[in-house]
């Protein structure tokens, strides 16, 4: 690494949280701040790196400024706070010759807890009990035991493994799709992706953890939903457009499936007039299943390690060399 001062772009929130750690990782670094209103503290041209930290997911003006920068004067290196890199601007960044690094597995724990919060809510009829309490009504409700139930995981990566680990504690049976068989004692049955319908037909709960690609765009369509059990629950923590939402609305309204939990939408934020908001037995959350303070620190640790490596002229870790896309250019990040 030359003696030229590193110019690294970060958000104002990251400086508030970790200014000392940033300067410790790369002594003498020049921090170029991206503010919530999209303005920069200095000219962001010729940045050596930028950290797309979790706080940016809720800062549309900052995101717009970053996307403009990536299209016009991309930094030499971009670190993401996510595992998934299935947005078009990541592919453009790689094509420009810049380095892209991600944070594999960092959100597995929080997302798995989110998944089980909703599984338990349905199994133990928590909404029904809340309604009875509000009505001052003493009325027992039959619930479901999770032991012996089947949990299907579509796209068995780090998040899927974290979900299966928690399923084992409830004595559930787990099945998952993945191209290469995972060596994981918590997964009872491995299926190739082309056997998806077998997983759907056998599962009481189906969790989507797969990336958005040409192969997974509208993967859960009318035929896939028809293959599911009538009382099963679909949980999507992957990308919105993995699901055909018109088909999902029809399935929920007709009772073809029992329930759905959507932490992602076809385009985000979900429009106020979207019929998804009022779909029966459908829970919607604003893509925040992974957002816990500890997760923010873990993703920052990924960035700090690579920042230190960059300052020393060492190879970066978690380098993404290619990304498979379904070519959407707006919506999910």
Catalytic positions are 239, 268, 287
Q: How many CA atoms lie within 13 A of 58 on its CB side?
A: 7
Total residue count of the chain as it appears in this document: 333
Task: State the CB neighbour count (10 A cutoff) for residue 268.
Answer: 16
Collapsed DSSP state (helix, strand, coil) of residue 176: strand
CA distance 34 to 41: 7
Token code pair at residue 42: 């200095």
CB-CB contact of 194 with 213 (8 Å): no
**CA angle (80 as vertex; 266, 309 as ends), nearest 5:** 170
Question: b/e for 53-91, b at 16 or more Cβ within 10 A?
Answer: bbbbbebeebbebbeebbeeebbbbbbbbbbbbbbbbbb
């Amino acid at each position: 690494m030359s003696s030229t001062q590193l110019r690294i772009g970060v958000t104002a929130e990251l400086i508030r949280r970790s200014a000392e750690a940033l300067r410790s990782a790369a002594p003498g670094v020049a921090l170029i701040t991206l503010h919530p209103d999209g303005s920069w503290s200095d000219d962001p041209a010729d940045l050596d790196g930028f950290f797309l930290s979790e706080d940016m997911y809720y800062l549309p003006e900052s995101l717009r400024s970053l996307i403009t920068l990536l299209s016009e004067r991309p930094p030499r290196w971009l670190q993401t706070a996510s595992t998934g890199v299935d947005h078009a601007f990541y592919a453009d960044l790689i094509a420009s010759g810049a380095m892209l690094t991600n944070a594999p597995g960092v959100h597995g724990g929080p997302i798995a807890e989110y998944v089980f919060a909703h599984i338990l809510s349905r199994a133990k009829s928590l909404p029904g009990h809340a309604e009875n309490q509000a009505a001052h009504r003493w009325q027992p409700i039959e619930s479901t035991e999770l032991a012996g139930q089947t949990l299907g995981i579509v796209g068995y990566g780090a998040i899927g493994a974290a979900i299966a680990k928690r399923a084992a504690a409830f004595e559930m049976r787990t099945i998952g799709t993945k191209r290469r068989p995972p060596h994981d004692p918590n997964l009872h049955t491995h299926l190739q992706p082309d056997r998806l319908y077998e997983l759907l037909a056998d599962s009481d709960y189906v969790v989507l953890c797969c990336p958005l690609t040409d192969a997974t765009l509208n993967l859960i369509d009318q035929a896939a939903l028809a293959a599911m059990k009538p009382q099963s629950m679909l949980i999507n923590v992957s990308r919105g457009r993995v699901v055909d939402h018109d088909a999902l609305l029809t399935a929920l309204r007709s009772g073809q499936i029992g329930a759905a939990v959507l932490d992602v939408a076809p385009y985000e934020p979900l429009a106020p007039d979207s019929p998804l908001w009022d779909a029966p037995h459908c829970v919607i959350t604003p893509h925040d299943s992974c957002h816990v303070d500890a997760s923010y620190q873990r993703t920052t640790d990924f960035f700090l390690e690579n920042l230190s490596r960059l300052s020393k002229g060492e190879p970066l870790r978690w380098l993404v060399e290619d990304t498979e896309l379904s070519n959407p250019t707006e919506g999910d990040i």
